[in-house]
Structure 1
Amino acid sequence: MDDLTPKEALDFSELGFDTAAVRAGTLRTEYNEHAEALFLTSSFCFKSAAEAAERFANSEDFFTYSRFTNPTVTMLQDRLAALEGGEACIVTSSGMSAILSIVMSALNAGDHLVSSRSIFGSSLNLFATIFSRFGITTTFVDPNDLDAWRKAVQPNTRLFFLESPSNPLTEVSDIRAIGEIARQVNALYVVDNCFCTPALQRPLEFGADVVVHSATKYIDGQGRVLGGAIVGKRDFVMGKVFPFVRTAGPTLSAFNAWLMLRGLETLSIRMERQSANALKIAQWLETRPCIKRVWYPKLRSHPQHEIAMRQQKLGGALVAFELEGDTPEAQRANAWRVIDQTRLCSITGNLGDTRTTITHPASTTHARVTPEARAAAGVTEGVIRLSVGLEDPQDICDDLARGTA
C-alpha cells in the first residue's frame, strides 16, 4: 500500500509476541499520528482517471473502495499475520463468514471435505446443510481418531477442518499428526484457533495451511464487535480468498478493525490471566459432588492433557462441566438450575469476554445441531460451558456454588 507509510521497517518475526501485538502493521498518515487512525470512508479519491483505472486494476495493492481494502483493516490484517506467523491475512465480518470464505475459495461443486465432529454448532450446520446444497459433501470424524481421518478420505477430498480446542468440551487434537494425513492426500488443512489465539497456540507451526478465527471472541476480548480472520500463505489468502471476499463482500468494517487493534494490545496479558483463572475454577469444579465431569486442558484428568501441553502455552479460558442426572431431562433441569442461580456470570452464548459467561450448549449454541450429532460430540443435556473472564476466580466459584451445593 503506497498511500500510507509503515511506521517502522522492522521484521516482527524477529521480535517478541507482545511487541508485535502492539506495533506490527502500524501505518501513519502525513499527520504522523501515534495511535492507529480510523478510516471511516466507503471510497477513496484519485488524482486522475488514469490513476483510478490503475488502482482498480490492482486493488490488492491500493486503497480504492473499503469493500476491497481499507487502511485500518489492513493494519489489523498485517498484525494478525505477524502474530500467527503467516504470510498474509484477510479479515471478515464474522468468524462464520471467514469459514464460508475459505470453503468457497478452495472448493468446487463435487468436492469433499473431512471435518472434526467436535466443532461449533454453526460450523456443523454450514458443512452438513448449506454446503451440501451446492454439491460439497462432508464426512465428520472423531477428531482424535487418526484412522478415522484416513478412512474418511475420498478421491475428491480437498480440505481437512479441525477445531482445537473444540467448542464446548475443549477436546484437543494432535494438529501435526492430522496435518501429515492432509499432506499425504494433498488436502488444504484448516485449523480453527479461536479458543487459544496465537498467544497460546500457533497451528501454522504444527503443519496447518490456514488458521481461521472468530475474532469476535478473544481477539476483540470485550464482547463489543463481530469479526473473523483467515491467516496463511500469501498465494492462497491473497490469490484465492481475497478475490472472493472482494466480490462477495463479507468484509470487516473499519470501526470493528480499529477496536480489534486495541484488543490485540492486551491479548497476551488477558489470555495468561484468564487461563490462570480458568484453571483455578476448573480445579474447584472437580470437587463439587453434583458435577459428573470437568473438561479443561490443563487438568491432568483431561483426556488429551499431554497433547494440549505440547501444543498450547496454557490451558485457555474455556471450561466445560457436566451435571449429574438419571435422564436427559433431569440433566437439563440441573444444568439450568446452576445457570439460573448465578448472579455474576453473564448468561449469554458469546465467549472470550473479559466478563465470565455461562451457557447451556445443547439449548443454545448447539440447539440447531441434530440430537445425533450432539450425542456423537458428547454435548449432553448436562453440559455447561463457562468462558472465564478477568474477575477474581473465587468470586466466580462462589457464584457457581449456589447451584452446585
Structure 2
Amino acid sequence: MAENQGVSPETWLARALGRHDEATHGVVPGIHPATTFLREGDLSYPGLVYARPDNPTFTAAEQLLSQLEGAQESILFGSGMAAATAVFQTLRPGDHVVGPTVMYWALRRWLKGYCEQFGIALTLVDMADTDAIAAAVVPGKTQVVWVETPANPTWSITDLSAAADIAHKAGAVLAVDNTVPTPLLTRPIEHGADIVMHAATKYLNGHSDVVMGTLSCARADHPAWQAMKAVRRDIGGIPGPFEAWLLLRGMRTLALRVERACGTAMKVANHFHGHARVAEVLYPGLPSHPGHAVAARQMTGGFGGMLSIRVAGGGPASVEAAARLRLWTRATSLGGVESLVEHRASVEGPDSPCPPDLLRLSCGIESADDLIADLEQALAGV
C-alpha cells in the first residue's frame, strides 16, 4: 500500500495500513464469517476456497504484522501454543532442536514431551551464553534453534545476530519468540531470524480478551515456512474471524500501550533497584543487568513492559507480598492494559528454573506512581 511507504510503524498501526470496509466504506474493516466460497461455472475458484487455510478477516492483521516485522508473510493461529508448536511439528525423528533453559514454561513442558515421544533430540542451554549455543548445535542435524529474548521470567537476553550466525552455519533455522518486546522494540528478522512467533494474546491484542498466536517469516519460499503453513492448514489451528478482527483492533493502539508499559517498567525497576526489601530486580533496562549491553543494541524504543523482583525473605515472603497487593492483579498472562503479578515458581512446579522468591510483573497503562506505591505497601507488610 503506497500510502504506508515512508511513514512510521506508529502510523501503520493507528491506520491499520489504511484498510477500510470496501462494501460500506466504513473506516473499520469488516468481519467475514463465511467458511466456504463460490466457484465459477467451470468449477474454478476466482479467489478463496475454504476458511481453514484462508479467511479475508485474517489478511488485515497478517499484513499489518508482516509490515511491522519486516516479514514476507505472516499467518494467524488459534493460540500462541498452536503457533509455537507448529514450528516443531515440521520435524522428523532424528532431528535436533536447541532451545533455552529459561523460556515460556508451557512450551518448555510440551517441547520436552514431544521431542521424547517422537525421537527428536533436544538440548536446552543458557541462551545468554553464545558459546553454549555454538557448542549445542550439531551441523546437519540441528534443524531449529529456538530463542526467547527477553526470556520469561528472568528476562535474560540472547544476542540474536550471533544466534542466527550459529544456526545458519549449522544448517538450522532461527525461530524467535518476540512476544515480550513486540516488533516495536525488536525486529528479529533484521538480526537474521528466519521465523518470528508471537503469543498475540499478549501485547499484540493487549486487552486480555483474545487467545491467538502468529508466525512470520523472512522468506515465504523457505521449505520450513511452507511446512509450517501446511501444519496450520492440516490441523485446523486457526482463530475465528471475530477474534482476528479483535486482534486488528487491539494492534491499532499497540504503539501507545507499549510506550506506556516500557516507561512504567523502567520507573518501577529504578525505584526498587537496591530497595531494602528487594533482593534483586531483573530488568534488561537496568545497567546492572548482565544482558543490558546486548539489549541496548538490539532493542530500540525501550526494554519492554515486563520485569521481575526477587523479594528479600525468600519464597514465603514473595507469596505474602503478592497477596497484599491491591492494584496489581494476581493473574496469569501478560501484556494487557491492566498490571499483573504472578508467583511463577508455584505455577510451574518443582522442575521450574524460576527462583521461589521471584514475582513476575507485567506493567499495564495505570499510573506508574500508583503501582509503585502499591508494591511499597505490599513489601512493607512482609
Scaled to the shorter chain, the TM-score interval is: over 0.9
Give distance in 1, aligned partners of 2:128 and 2:303: 18
Q: Give 2:10's aligned residue.
A: 18
Please, what TM-score do these two structures have when normalized by structure 2? 0.94
Q: Give 2:221's aligned residue.
A: 235
Residues 280-320 of structure 1 deviation map (CA, whole Å, 9 limit, x = unaligned): 11111224212100011111111111111111111110010
1:400 CA displacement? 1.1
Give distance in 1, aligned partners of 2:110 and 2:56: 31
Q: Give 2:35's aligned residue.
A: 42
Equivalent residue letter for 1:315: F
Change (3 A) 1:293 1:195: same
Residues 17-61 of structure 1 deviation map (CA, whole Å, 9 limit, x = unaligned): 12222332836433333211111232223343613xx46xxxxxx
The answer on 1:33 being equivalent to 2:26 is yes
1:255 CA displacement? 1.0
Question: Residue 119 of structure 1 aligns to a residue in which SS?
Answer: coil
Q: Give 1:318's aligned residue.
A: 306
Segments of 4+ moved more than 6 angstroms: none
Equivalent residue letter for 1:142: D
Change (3 A) 1:122 1:13: farther
Equivalent residues of 2:37, 2:48 under 8 A apart: yes
Question: Residue 198 of structure 2 aligns to a residue in which SS?
Answer: strand
Matches for 1:2-401 after TM superposition, within 5 Å? 9-10=1-2, 12=4, 14-21=6-13, 22-24=15-17, 26=19, 28-48=21-41, 50-51=43-44, 54=45, 62-105=47-90, 107-154=91-138, 155-232=140-217, 233-236=219-222, 239-313=226-300, 314-325=302-313, 331-364=314-347, 366-367=348-349, 370-371=350-351, 374-375=352-353, 379-401=354-376
Structure 1 unaligned blocks of 5 or more: 1-8, 56-61, 326-330
Number of residue pairs matched by the alignment:
375
Structure 2 unaligned blocks of 5 or more: none
Change (3 A) 1:340 1:131: same
Equivalent residue letter for 1:29: E
Equivalent residues of 2:274, 2:280 under 8 A apart: no
Equivalent residues of 2:262, 2:304 under 8 A apart: yes
Question: Residue 403 of structure 1 aligns to a residue in which SS?
Answer: helix
Give distance in 2, aligned partners of 1:65 and 1:16: 35
Cα RMSD for the two superposed structures? 1.7
1:64 CA displacement? 2.3
Equivalent residue letter for 1:120: Y
Please, what TM-score do these two structures have when normalized by structure 1? 0.89
Residues 195-246 of structure 1 deviation map (CA, whole Å, 9 limit, x = unaligned): 0000111010011111100000000011111110100121247622222211
